[in-house]
Amino acid sequence: MTETRVDPHVKILDADVAARAKARGIDVLVYAPHFTRLPAIRERAEAFTDDELLVVPAREVFTGPWQTRKHVLALGLDEPVPDFITLEGAFEAFAEQDATVLAPHPTFATVSLGASEFERYGEQLAAGEVYNPKQWPYQNERARELVESHGLPAFGSSYAHRRATVGEVWTTFERDIASEADLLAAFEEGAPRRVEHRTGWTHTLRCRAEFFDLAWENTYEKVDRVLLSGMEPTHSRHIAYEGRFDDVRVY
């Protein structure tokens, strides 16, 4: 039986990341960095795709205001969708593009989809994450319970913000995935899969390192730069979006 190891969510991508993924037996990476526009993500993903590793571009869209933002992971986008638009506006944009939508780290802090969002948008979700190194074991278990209670397929990812985390978690699909289209089909069709991760004290240390990497994401410096300037490449007020999302932007 052909199997494919997929890491459905990493934040960093360079030669070291690609080499580490290959060394750990990862076949597919989904690259979705923060505050980077889709064309740039696509270009970098293509640059690191070769016969051993497929890199698929994606966007983790920040919806709603910063204090209560909800992260949603979208694959298969044709056109860019900005950050800091309403959750409803984001899902409408995803539906218009027939994107494949995943729920990363559900129930985590205030940045994730919870039970009410699963109730409202569950039919538009292709899968929910049940294992993420940034989360503590009880948080991963809570996420698993939510995903399973709504009958959604599961996935696990490294959610790597640090190079050392690449290859710590993956989702093994029981089919061959050789292209972006193959990956989207695997998610949309609910293809059989296993969520797997490394074990032992090294894995635990890398998980804790990822957790504490959250600090900078919530500093005033970052909030000020992202929200007040309006010049982040993915800010809904950025000139690149030509006002197309003005009716659903929150800043």
Decide which of 3.30.70.1430, 3.20.20.140, 3.40.50.300, 3.40.50.970 is the CATH code for 4-241: 3.20.20.140
pLDDT in tens, 230-242: 567 898 888 889 9
User: What pLDDT, on a 0 to 100 scale, did the predictor assign at position 219?
Assistant: 56
User: How far apart are the C-alpha atoms of 58 and 99, rounded to whole Å?
Assistant: 10
Q: Are 156 and 195 in contact (CB under 8 A)?
A: yes
User: Mean pLDDT by 10-residue block, N- to C-terminus, for the chain (251 residues)?
Assistant: 95 98 98 95 98 98 91 97 96 98 93 96 97 94 97 97 96 98 98 97 93 66 56 85 94 85
Measured in Å, how far apart are the chain's first and last C-alpha atoms? Answer: 50
Q: What does pTM read for this prediction? A: 0.94
What DSSP string describes 18-43?
A: HHHHHHTT--EEEE--TT--HHHHHH
Give the domain ranges of the chain. 4-241
